[in-house]
């Protein structure tokens, strides 16, 4: 009985960590797409290919990680949302020192 609980806790941690990893791939890929498309002659190609690849990987990952368990799927989604917050904080443009001194 105790071993089953430990295995369940490990599986739940895997689902949350996997969701976080999928979120970093998805939102990090979106950020990279925006950056690359700003200097591209055909930005629509970047957005189209990126959307297809990011969505395919994310859906496949949710299918594998979530399985048939609603609890695992919710933990995976929670990790995915946490990754969004992490990527937004990591990619946020930092104000320059010069801009601060002008104010």
Spatial separation of the C-alpha atoms in residues 27 and 50, rounded to whole Å? 11
Rounded to two decimals, what is the model's pTM? 0.82
CA angle centred on 31, ends 27 and 33, rounded to 5°: 110
**In the chain, what are the domain boundaries?**
2-102
Spatial separation of the C-alpha atoms in residues 71 and 33, rounded to whole Å? 32
Spatial separation of the C-alpha atoms in residues 25 and 28, rounded to whole Å? 5
pLDDT digits (tens, 9 = 90+) for 16-69: 999 999 999 999 999 999 999 999 999 999 999 999 999 999 999 999 998 888
3-class state of residue 31 by DSSP = helix
């Amino acid at each position: 009985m105790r071993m089953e609980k430990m295995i369940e806790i490990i599986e739940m941690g895997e689902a949350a960590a996997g969701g976080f990893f999928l979120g970093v791939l998805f939102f990090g890929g979106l950020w990279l797409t925006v950056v690359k498309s700003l200097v591209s002659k055909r930005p629509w190609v970047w957005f189209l290919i990126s959307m297809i690849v990011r969505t395919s990987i994310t859906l496949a990952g949710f299918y594998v990680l979530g399985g048939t368990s609603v609890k695992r799927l919710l933990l995976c989604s929670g990790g995915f949302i946490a990754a969004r917050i992490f990527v937004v904080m990591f990619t946020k443009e930092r104000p320059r020192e010069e801009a601060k001194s002008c104010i």
